Amino acid sequence: MWEDFESCVRAVQSKDARFDGWFFTGVHTTGIYCRPSCPAVPPKPQNMDFYPSAAAAQQAGFRACKRCRPDASPGSPEWNHRADAVGRAMRMIADGVVDRDGVPGLAHRLGYSVRQVERMLRAELGAGPLALARAQRAQTARLLIETSALPMSDITYAAGFASIRTFNDTVREVFALSPTELRQRATARRTPEPAPGELALRLPFRAPLFPDNLFGHLAATAVPGVEEWRDGAYRRTMRLPHGHGVVTLRPGVEHIGCQLALTDMRDLAGAISRCRWLLDLDADPVAVDELLSRDETLAPLVRKAPGRRVPRTVDPAEFAVRAVLGQQVSTAAARTHAARLVTAHGTPITDPSGGLTHLFPDAASLSELDPETLAMPASRRRTLLSLVSALAEGDLDLEVGSDWNRAREQLTALPGFGPWTVESIAMRGLGDPDAFIPGDLGVKVAAEQLGLPFTPAALTAYSTAWRPWRAYAVQYLWATCDHPINTLPA
């Protein structure tokens, strides 16, 4: 959109928050860059330039606006649904791959040369992978400065900077304030202090957002010890590159309240990215609902509760294991099977603020699994063991930024992986917005009740009109059923 000057000008002049994250406005007269909904008086069109990313605006010499805080706007929905190399690269950068493995590591995962990755990102985003990662480090640094009492030297390395000098220079360049000045400004507006060792953040999203099915699904399918619903918030443990964390996510009208307790602050940016991915916060609900409303059967469901999101996961491999455990059994039985795996093979943790006890076991831990201890049919045991073996040996790529179609092919090649399991993983584990599960019992019942074709083949053919948002259509179909996944817990 950033290349359409007139459309961008209209969005800025109307202060339209729907376009936050789609593009950024550089203002020549002030030297700042803003989000489209900035509350300041809009500049004259001749004084505006538009950029596809915060990193591109920073490279052009603009600093972040202190009023609208453009670096904290929702992420571009482009990276939420694109399966090409640029979309995959952006998801990897958000997860911290460049900070951990450098640009060569990013290029290796994508299967391209470093030069080709640089070229693709510059063509679409106006900045290379290092500049994009630098912009993310600056945002992480600002969060730590404003929401914690950590010394600046600790923040430097937690945010991914190589030296205190680089940290100071970057913060001054991006925010036109020193780290100390940023902290002083934040003191006046700081929310109540979180518990010791925790960070309190706000996760923005594009309105509308309907939280009932999102949090209801996560709570109804929660694995005891790994997830819980407590005091009006969803809580879970997370396995992260440098340690582990516990996140508390609370639905709000204008943002999602987020409290993070991390064993290593270097995982902050990745943890935030995974929380946003879990709740599908970078989706474009206006575009989704507009297309689905064209179907006269879905239109009343969309009008009743617009803004449904797809409940995802913080760990695709974990979800794949849970999808196998949930084959042909009830939600309660799937939770029971998962809880037994967690107790036997999960990593114990302490949770002073609640009842979380373990990290979900990784593939290496599950490779030691004794199949005779599993209270399930022999065929499903073989399916689970084949999945664990493929994950442990690296034959199956379900990491952040993986190729969705290639992952489908790899999953289908495993014994016991039919369309329901593969598409469930694609939808909730990998985040493909067009994943569709016509064979799901809830989908079939809803389709029959609504007068839609309800055999898998017929419903798949009918659903082509819902592309590329069929995963969201599934959420609206599920909403017609009387099931706990559709209700925000008390």
Which residues are identified as catalytic? 34, 440
360: nearest Cα among 417, 400, 331, 320: 320
* Helix pair angle (285-292, 470-478), 10° resolution: 70
Q: What are the angstrom distances between the C-alpha of 177 and each of 55, 131, 173, 350, 372?
A: 18, 20, 8, 38, 61
Report d(CA 128, CA 56) in Å as an integer.
9
Q: Are 324 and 384 in contact (CB under 8 A)?
A: yes
Q: Give bridge partners of residue 49 from the DSSP assignment.
A: 26
Q: Are 33 and 25 in contact (CB under 8 A)?
A: yes
Q: Give bridge partners of residue 210 from the DSSP assignment.
A: 308
Report d(CA 361, CA 349) in Å as an integer.
12
Task: Tell me the helix, strand and coil percentages in the chain, rounded to 5.
Answer: 50, 10, 35
Query: 366: which DSSP letter?
Result: H
Q: What are the angstrom distances between the C-alpha of 9 and each of 13, 26, 36, 54, 226?
A: 6, 12, 9, 18, 47
Q: Which amino acid is at 142?
A: R
Q: Are 281 and 287 in contact (CB under 8 A)?
A: no
DSSP string covering 257-271? EEEEEES-GGGHHHH
Strands 347-348 and 255-262: unpaired
Tokens of 318: 């974990």
Edge to edge, the sheet with strand 24-27 lists 48-51, 24-27, 32-34, 63-64
Edge to edge, the sheet with strand 233-240 lists 198-204, 255-262, 243-250, 233-240, 227-230
DSSP string covering 177-201? S-HHHHHHHHHHHPPSP-STTEEEE
Q: Which helix (H) or strand (E) holds 171?
A: helix 164-175
Neighbours of 14 (CB within 10 A): 13
91: nearest Cα among 263, 266, 220, 276: 276
Tokens of 480: 């017609």
Q: Are 275 and 247 in contact (CB under 8 A)?
A: yes
Q: Are 41 and 393 in contact (CB under 8 A)?
A: no
Report d(CA 161, CA 411) in Å as an integer.
38
